[in-house]
């Protein structure tokens, strides 16, 4: 097997793991409340899949194996993994804790996240169809980092991961102030990064910023 195919194989392996994570979350939702092996599997599977996002990018650069398929598939799989996991945060009441100021994942917040991804993806496709480069920005990458942290805290706390690792201090991450602070930062960065993409796309399409060509 050529190493040029390794990045795409990692990407599609991440999609397979994502399906396993969703199956585990489905089982956890159907079971009794409280930590369970299914929830722990969902946490570790999600963490491994999210971490592998850096691996396929490194392999693509290392072996000069950047392909059109990889450029499309990689962000799509990332969105399926994270937005899919967040959908279960809406559905599963066991993610909530006393003192939470609102739902772990309000429906309005999920709609905002989903709308941003659809909008940016459509804009990128349209801009690139006009022969202009429209690469990802740092704000978008930091947005993904915050989303990953948010999901990991929620899954880890629900699965009792801090106790399993004998690291009870990690449970402080699920303190409502810390956890919902991450939530608000994630929503804010989602809106700001989305607005940044819109402005840059407008400038590119109107000939005001062609430096990225």
CATH of the domain at 148: 1.20.120
Residue 211 belongs to a domain = no
Residue 212 belongs to a domain = no
pLDDT (tens digit, 9 = 90+) per residue, 4-54? 667 778 888 899 999 999 999 999 888 777 788 999 999 999 999 998 877
Cα–Cα distance between 23 and 47 in angstroms, integer? 15
Residue 175 belongs to a domain = yes
Q: What is the average per-residue pLDDT within 111-135?
A: 87
What are the residues whose beta carbons fall under 8 Å from the beta carbon of 19, sequence distance 6 or more?
Answer: none
The mean pLDDT value of the chain amounts to 86
- With DSSP H G I counted as helix, E B as strand and the rest as coil, what are the percentages for the chain, rounded to 5? 80, 0, 20
> DSSP assignment of 55-105, as one string?
HHHHHHHHTT---HHHHHHHHHHHHHHHHHHHHHHHH-GGG--TT-SS-SS
pLDDT of 210 reads 44
Against a cut of 0.85, is the pTM above it?
yes
What is the C-alpha radius of gyration for the chain, rounded to an integer number of angstroms?
A: 19
Residue 115 belongs to a domain = yes
pLDDT (tens digit, 9 = 90+) per residue, 91-116? 787 788 889 999 999 999 999 999 99
Judged against a pLDDT cut of 80, whether residue 66 lies above it is answered with no
pLDDT of 212 reads 41
| DSSP 8-state assignment for residue 206 | T
Residue 210 belongs to a domain = no
Judged against a pLDDT cut of 90, whether residue 205 lies above it is answered with no
pLDDT of 61 reads 66
Decide: 143 and 190 in contact? Cβ < 8 Å. yes
H/E stretch holding 33 reads none
**Domain around 110:** 3-205
Residue 194 belongs to a domain = yes
Residue 213 belongs to a domain = no
Residue 179 belongs to a domain = yes
Judged against a pLDDT cut of 80, whether residue 204 lies above it is answered with yes
Q: What domain count does the chain have?
A: 1
């Amino acid at each position: 097997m050529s190493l040029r195919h390794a990045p795409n194989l990692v990407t599609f392996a991440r999609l397979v793991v994502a399906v396993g994570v969703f199956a585990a979350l489905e089982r956890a939702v159907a079971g009794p409340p409280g930590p369970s092996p299914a929830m722990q599997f969902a946490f570790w599977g999600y963490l491994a899949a999210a971490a592998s996002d850096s691996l396929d990018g490194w392999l693509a650069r290392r072996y000069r194996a950047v392909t059109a398929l990889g450029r499309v598939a990689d962000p799509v799989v990332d969105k399926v993994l994270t937005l899919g996991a967040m959908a279960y945060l809406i559905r599963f009441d066991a993610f909530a804790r006393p003192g939470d100021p609102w739902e772990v994942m309000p429906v309005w917040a999920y709609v905002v996240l989903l709308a941003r991804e659809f909008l940016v993806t459509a804009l990128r496709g349209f801009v690139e169809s006009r022969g202009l480069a429209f690469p990802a920005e740092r704000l978008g990458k930091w947005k993904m980092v915050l989303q990953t942290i948010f999901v990991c805290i929620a899954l880890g706390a629900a699965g009792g991961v801090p106790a399993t690792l004998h690291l009870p201090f990690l449970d402080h991450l699920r303190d409502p102030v810390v956890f919902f602070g991450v939530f608000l930062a994630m929503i804010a960065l989602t809106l700001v990064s989305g607005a940044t993409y819109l402005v840059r796309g407008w400038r590119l399409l109107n000939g005001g910023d062609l430096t990225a060509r």
